[in-house]
Amino acid sequence: MASIFDFGSVMSIAQGGLGIAAQIGGFLSQKSNVKLANAAAEQQYWAQYAQTTQQNYRDYQLQLDSWYRESDYVEKLKAYESQIAEQRAVYKGQVSTNATRNFEKQITDLEGRYYEEEAKEMIDLENIRTQTISAAAKRVSSGQAGRSVERITNQYNQQYLANLSNRQITRNFRIADKIRAAESLNVARENTVNQVEFYTPRPIADPVKPLAPLPIVSYSPTKAVGPSASALTLNVANTVSEAYKTYKSYQPPAPTPITTPGSGGLSQTTLDTMNQYS
């Protein structure tokens, strides 16, 4: 008939087996979970890597398209500025040519008036000379001679010399006036030309071409370490040891041999105890 010690032994062995099975199952389950977590982390890493790379190239393409548009606009703006500078230079040349022609015409008119006045004075002097000769001739023809003719001649000669001296002074003033007038005309010509300035094109900076995206510097996720097989072995060994200790605790104590004095056999009490657990 089974005793309580037999039931305890069976239970201790069963608990030890269940403990070992639970530890092995937990080890396998934890190992599988770690493997799945590493795979998920690796998949997420590569998905994020691909997404970041695509986004970088999309941004680069947008920047490149913007650069092409800005470059085209800058080239057209530079051409426009150059055209304005060229038109202004042509216009300034035309103004300079017209001003020079007008200056030459004014100088010609100035010279004409100068020589006209010079000729008028020369004619006036010649008229005085002619009048002197004519008056002297009339005196001679009328029978006058000597001092009367000489007096008239001296009178006209003095008048002629006075006019000649005045003419010299007037001529100097006229030359000075002509020079000042010519200088004034030249200043007016220069002012007319300088009123039209050359056009300096505005400095226009070229847009900076975007650089292609650099390769992404990244590091793959570190794999999580799974459960230790050594630790499992140690735990199983501990469970076996504990189960064995429990099993041993349910075993009956070993009989102690009792001998009577002078007898080499077992006592009746010892034999009864042994029969009880046999």
As a whole-number percent, the residues of the chain with pLDDT over 90 amount to 22
Burial of 99 (0-12, 13-18, 19+ CB in 10 A): buried
Rounded-to-10 torsion of CA 178, 180, 181, 185: 130
- Over residues 59-92, the pLDDT tens digits come to 999 999 999 999 999 999 999 999 999 999 999 9
Distance CA 165, CA 125 (A): 11
Which range has the top average pLDDT, 90-99, 129-138, 244-253? 90-99
* pLDDT value, residue 31: 72
pLDDT attached to residue 5: 47
Top-confidence range, 5-9, 32-36, 129-133: 32-36
| pLDDT for the residue 8 | 55
Looking at residue 263, its pLDDT comes to: 45
SS3 263: coil
Give me the pLDDT at residue 144, please: 52
Residue 225: half-sphere exposure toward Cβ, Cα within 13 Å:
3
CA 184/CA 207 separation, integer angstroms: 51
Domain ranges of the chain: 4-204
Give pLDDT, residue 278.
46
Q: Choose the weakest-confidence range: 54-58, 96-100, 127-131, 179-183.
A: 127-131
Q: What is the pLDDT confidence band of residue 123, given thresholds at 50, 70 and 90? A: confident
Q: Is the pTM of this model over 0.75?
A: no
pLDDT of 277 strictly over 50: no
Distance (Å, whole) CA 78 – CA 277 = 117
Per the CB < 8 A criterion, the answer to whether 193 and 102 are in contact is: no
Q: Would you say 258 and 270 are in contact if contact means Cβ atoms under 8 Å apart?
A: yes
Name the residue with higher pLDDT: 45 or 9: 45
Return the pLDDT at 69: 94
Each residue's pLDDT tens digit, 197-229: 889 999 989 999 998 888 887 777 777 766 666
